[in-house]
Amino acid sequence: MQNVRVQFTIPNVEKTANLDIYVNGEERKMKFRVETFDWNSENGSSEDLVNILRDRILNYDSEWELYHIGAPYEDKIPVTFKFKD
């Protein structure tokens, strides 16, 4: 399966972004959720923070799968999850 990654901004998403896309004329519905997790160095070393983040991702709602981990900003790190089909 080939992947196409398109980056875009959806302002004011509070829970889930529902996307309808067309691939070769066929409509597909996708759901994404972006969660932000604390990434504050006062909570430990970088290794500690990675372990905390890993634990939160592994224990996240099982209906969602990890899609993308963004760059940290303002002591937060955005993590995008995709709803499993």
CATH code for position 69: 3.30.200
CA triplet 19, 61, 80: central angle to 5 degrees?
Answer: 45
Answer yes or no: is 1 within a domain: no
**Confidence at 16, pLDDT banded by 50, 70, 90:** confident
> What rounded mean pLDDT belongs to the chain?
86
How far apart are alpha carbons 62 and 41 in whole angstroms? 28
Q: Please check the confidence at residue 5 and state whether its pLDDT lies above 80.
A: no
**What local confidence, expressed as pLDDT, does residue 83 receive?**
93
Domains in the chain, number: 1
Question: Do the domain assignments include residue 27?
Answer: yes
Range of the domain at 22: 17-83
- Which of residues 83 and 40 earns the better pLDDT score? 83
Would 2 be classed as within a structural domain? no
- CB–CB of 55/71 below 8 Å? no
**What is the pLDDT confidence band of residue 1, given thresholds at 50, 70 and 90?**
low
Could you give the C-alpha distances from 70 to 17, 37, 59, in angstroms and in order?
A: 17, 11, 19
**Domain-embedded: residue 36:** yes
pLDDT digits (tens, 9 = 90+) for 23-56: 899 998 989 998 888 888 787 888 988 998 999 9
